[in-house]
Structure 1
Amino acid sequence: MGSPIQEKGTQVQFLKQRLNMFSDVLDTIDPEEVDLEDIDRLISMIDDLETKCKEFNGRDES
């Protein structure tokens, strides 16, 4: 794994990229064909984002 992201601007950029990836996944899902595995994957992505937000929030500003 890489080193922890300490700089706030870099943390924000990281979160923006993750949100864009989440948005891209949402755009590719056909609502008529979504299954439980797809929903679980979306929930997992949201959980990962929440974890990162909490992690970044707990770090001292560089």
Structure 2
Amino acid sequence: MEDGKKTKLEVLHQRMENLVESLDSLDPEKTGIEDIDRIIAMLDDLENQCKQYRLQGE
């Protein structure tokens, strides 16, 4: 695997780990709209980055 692709995968993996940690830290009783919006924004960012990497690989 190319170093560039490996680095991109490592970045995505770290961002996914950060998302999982954020989800794990949420208290369902205290989670507000802002928290949910932040999680959705993180997911959108990950999706966009995946699309960008996929297009660069073509």
Moved over 3 A (4+): none
Encode CA deviations 1:5-57: one digit per residue, 9 max, x unaligned.
x8111111000000000011011110111110000000000000000000101
Q: Which AA in structure 2 matches 1:22?
A: L
Q: 1:32 aligns with which of 29, 32, 44?
A: 29
Equivalenced residue count is: 56
In the superposition, the TM-score normalised over structure 2's length comes to: 0.89
Q: Percent identity?
A: 43
Amino acid corresponding to residue 8 of structure 1 in structure 2? K
Partner residue in 2 for 1:54: 51
Q: TM-score, normalised by structure 1?
A: 0.83
Map of 1:13 onto structure 2: 10
RMSD over aligned CA atoms reads 1.6
